[in-house]
């Protein structure tokens, strides 16, 4: 913008306020005049969608907490009371349950976008790592939330996942007892899960603030992977990104509404409508769909401790991505070989998810192992090698140029420009 990048309050009250607590100025510089690459596509809306979904989950969650009772004898019935008696209780419950699925769907797409366009590369490493931390917090929050209705799956998922910690040598059993607050999953476990499930979303909100702060320090990545060079490469966040994000967020809400109103139990498991019974194990214990890939990796390894380590490693390895990928070119748009492996990786993740829903027998186990190998090989072998050996396509000279000429560079192909040192 050729004018002021800072907020200039006009009326007296705002001037008074700005001097004391410059929130309006912060909002103005961060979300109004903030320079945004002009070529962002709709994959970039998922960050905003995630913030929106966090708000939805917190609001519906706080409201549900007014009616829920965290006690093993009362929890299941309190949820049913919400569904039957509380005004719009069925809506709030279905919003919250399906909202968790939408939250994870958006998060995975958001991450795949980052992986495709190299958004984790220098100088966005900390931004990416904060994102991995957010994913871990989301996984913990979702897991504890699922236990609260105290259905069969709630109870047995809690049992299986907390039992994983017993794989830790020496202190494993003590840790599990400590987690349970007893000798098996029971009332103390449910109560503490409720407390932490209420707490963690606010921790997530705090880390989101850090995440957006880290983002604003370095600016958005964009489909070309080239940093903006001039004013022609960017537009003001408001109204351009605001309206584009607003539109796509509403489209996403249509998908959300479709699940909430028409197929609210599609993503769930019927067994969770059976009250928890510690004496009866369900035939197939399965987590919610968003945990299935990790579940498949866990079960693919025949050794209990190594399986747990693989489960943890499959998430933690993401944090090292900025250094594992050695390519100097950010965006997959200009990395044709990388693209092939990337899409294979996406198929492998989906395949692992499907396999996680199947009983661990026969061919299912074989393919889970093959896919797990690819999953780790992608990070540890393929990406480090690719950066060294692949031939990238020539990069455009600037974002504006790529938009102008639809990606074709002017004149002779320019070599990839060196990435600016931090």
Partner 1 sequence: MSGAGGSRGRLHAGKFTQPAQARLQAARSLRKLVAGGLTEQERDRTVTTMSSAEPTRRDFLYIATASVAAVGAAAALVPLIAQMNPDASTIAAGAPIEVDLTPIADGQVIKVFWRGKPIYVNHRTKKQIEEAENVDVAKLPDPQPDSARVKPGHSQWQVLIGICTHLGCIPIAHQGPYDGYFCPCHGSIYDTSGRIRQGPAPLNLALPPYEFVSDTKIRIG
Partner 2 sequence: MVIARTLALAAALAAFTAPARAQEHDTATPPMNKWSFAGPFGKYDRGQLQRGFKVYREVCQVCHGLKLVAFRTLAEPGGPGFTTAQAAAIAAEYQVPAEPDDQGEVKPRPARLADYFPPPFPNEQAARARYNAVPPDLSVIAKARGYERGFPRWVGDMFTQYQEQGVDYITALLQGYQDSPPAGVTLPPGNFYNKYFPGHGIAMPPPLTDQRVEYTDGAPMTVEQYAKDISAFLMWTAEPHLEARKRIGMQVVIFLIVLSGLLYFTKKKVWHEVKLHPEKLTPRPPTEYPRT
Which residues sit at the interface with partner 2, rule CB under 8 A? 2, 35, 38, 77, 80, 83-84, 90-91, 94, 216-219, 227-232, 235, 239-240, 243-244, 246-247, 250-251, 253-254, 257-258, 260-266, 270-271, 273-274, 283, 337, 340-341, 343-344, 347-348, 351, 354-355, 358-359, 361-364, 367, 370-371, 374, 400, 403-404, 420
Q: How far is the CB of 343 from partner 2 (least distance, A)?
A: 6
Stretch that binds partner 1, among 30-38, 109-117, 118-126, 184-192 (CB under 8 A): 30-38
DSSP 233: G
Residue 151 — φ and ψ, nearest 5°? -90, -175
Which residue's entry shows tokens 């709709």? 42
Contact between 348 and 375 under an 8 Å Cβ cutoff? The reply is: yes
Specify which residues 226 forms β-bridges with.
Answer: none
Rounded Cα distance between 78 and 279, Å, is: 22
> Closer CB to partner 1, residue 3 or residue 411?
3
Q: How far is the CB of 283 from partner 1 (least distance, A)?
A: 34
Residue 37 — φ and ψ, nearest 5°? -55, 140
> Closer CB to partner 1, residue 15 or residue 265?
15
Rounded Cα distance between 93 and 39, Å, is: 38
Q: How far is the CB of 101 from partner 2 (least distance, A)?
A: 12
The answer to the question of residue 58 lying near partner 1 (CB under 8 A) is no
Nearest residue to 67 (alpha-carbon basis) of 51, 81, 88: 81
Contact between 135 and 107 under an 8 Å Cβ cutoff? The reply is: yes
Contact between 236 and 34 under an 8 Å Cβ cutoff? The reply is: yes
Task: Name which of residues 216 to 235 contact partner 1 (CB under 8 A).
Answer: 231, 234-235
Q: What is the DSSP string of 352-382?
A: HHHHHTS-S-HHHHHHHHHHHHHHHHIIIII
The answer to the question of residue 12 lying near partner 1 (CB under 8 A) is no
The answer to the question of residue 85 lying near partner 1 (CB under 8 A) is yes
> Closer CB to partner 2, residue 72 or residue 400?
400
3-state secondary structure at position 275:
strand
The answer to the question of residue 251 lying near partner 1 (CB under 8 A) is no
Residue 243 — φ and ψ, nearest 5°? -75, -35
What is the chain's Cα-based Rg?
A: 24
Q: How far is the CB of 178 from partner 2 (least distance, A)?
A: 31
List the structure tokens of 99: 């909202």
Stretch that binds partner 1, among 82-90, 184-192, 297-305, 342-350 (CB under 8 A): 82-90
The answer to the question of residue 67 lying near partner 1 (CB under 8 A) is yes
3-state secondary structure at position 313:
helix
The answer to the question of residue 99 lying near partner 1 (CB under 8 A) is no
The CA distances from residue 388 to 330, 336, 392, in Å, are: 14, 14, 10
The CA distances from residue 158 to 144, 151, 165, 370, 400, in Å, are: 8, 11, 12, 28, 52
Residue 23 binding target from partner 1, partner 2, none, CB below 5 to 8 Å by type: none
DSSP 406: T
The answer to the question of residue 28 lying near partner 1 (CB under 8 A) is yes
> Closer CB to partner 2, residue 172 or residue 407?
407
The CA distances from residue 154 to 91, 136, 142, in Å, are: 21, 19, 11
Stretch that binds partner 1, among 85-93, 150-158, 194-202, 217-225 (CB under 8 A): 85-93
- Among 17, 86, 196, 305, the residue binding partner 1 under the rule CB under 8 A is 86
Residue 359 binding target from partner 2, partner 1, none, CB below 5 to 8 Å by type: partner 2
- Among 9, 123, 264, 417, the residue binding partner 1 under the rule CB under 8 A is 9
Nearest residue to 160 (alpha-carbon basis) of 302, 299, 351, 358: 299
The answer to the question of residue 144 lying near partner 1 (CB under 8 A) is no
- Among 17, 30, 58, 63, the residue binding partner 1 under the rule CB under 8 A is 63
Contact between 83 and 223 under an 8 Å Cβ cutoff? The reply is: no
* Count, residues near partner 1 per rule CB under 8 A: 36
The answer to the question of residue 66 lying near partner 1 (CB under 8 A) is yes
Q: Which residues bind partner 1 (CB under 8 A)?
A: 1-4, 7-11, 14, 24, 27-28, 32-33, 35, 59, 63, 66-67, 81, 84-89, 91-92, 231, 234-236, 238-240
């Amino acid at each position: 913008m050729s004018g002021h990048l800072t907020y200039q309050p006009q009326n007296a009250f705002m001037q008074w306020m700005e001097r004391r607590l410059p929130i309006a100025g912060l909002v103005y510089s961060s979300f109004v005049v903030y320079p945004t690459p002009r070529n962002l596509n709709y994959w970039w809306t998922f960050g905003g969608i995630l913030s929106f979904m966090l708000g939805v989950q917190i609001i519906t969650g706080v409201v549900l907490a007014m009616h829920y009772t965290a006690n093993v004898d009362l929890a299941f019935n309190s949820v049913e009371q919400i569904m039957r008696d509380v005004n719009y209780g069925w809506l709030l419950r279905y919003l919250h349950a399906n909202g968790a699925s939408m939250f994870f769907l958006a998060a995975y797409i958001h991450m795949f976008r980052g992986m495709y366009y190299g958004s984790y590369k220098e100088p966005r490493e900390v931004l990416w790592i904060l994102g991995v931390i957010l994913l871990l917090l989301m996984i913990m929050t979702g897991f504890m939330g699922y236990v609260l209705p105290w259905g069969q799956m709630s109870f047995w998922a809690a049992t299986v996942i907390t039992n994983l910690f017993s794989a830790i040598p020496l202190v494993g059993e003590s840790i599990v007892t400590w987690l349970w607050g007893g000798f098996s999953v029971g009332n103390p476990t449910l109560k503490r899960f409720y407390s932490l499930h209420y707490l963690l979303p606010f921790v997530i909100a705090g880390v989101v603030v850090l995440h957006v702060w880290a983002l604003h320090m370095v600016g958005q990545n964009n489909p070309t992977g080239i940093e903006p060079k001039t004013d022609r490469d960017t537009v003001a966040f408001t109204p351009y990104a605001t309206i584009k994000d607003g539109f796509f967020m509403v489209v996403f809400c249509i998908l959300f509404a479709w699940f909430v109103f028409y197929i609210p139990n599609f993503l769930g498991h019927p067994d969770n409508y059976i009250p928890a019974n510690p004496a009866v194990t369900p035939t197939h214990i399965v987590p919610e769909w968003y945990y299935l890939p990790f579940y498949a990796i866990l079960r693919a390894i025949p050794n209990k401790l190594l399986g747990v380590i693989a489960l943890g490693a499959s998430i933690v390895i993401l944090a090292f991505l900025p250094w594992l990928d050695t390519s100097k070119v950010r965006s997959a748009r200009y990395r044709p070989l990388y693209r092939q492996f990337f899409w294979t990786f996406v198929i492998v993740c989906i395949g692992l998810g499907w396999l996680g829903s199947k009983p661990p027998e026969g061919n299912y186990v074989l393919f889970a192992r093959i896919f797990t190998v690819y999953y780790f090989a992608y990070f540890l072998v393929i990406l480090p090698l690719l950066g060294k050996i692949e031939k990238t396509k020539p990069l455009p000279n600037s974002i504006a140029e790529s938009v102008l000429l639809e990606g074709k560079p002017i004149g002779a192909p320019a070599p990839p420009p060196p990435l600016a040192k931090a």
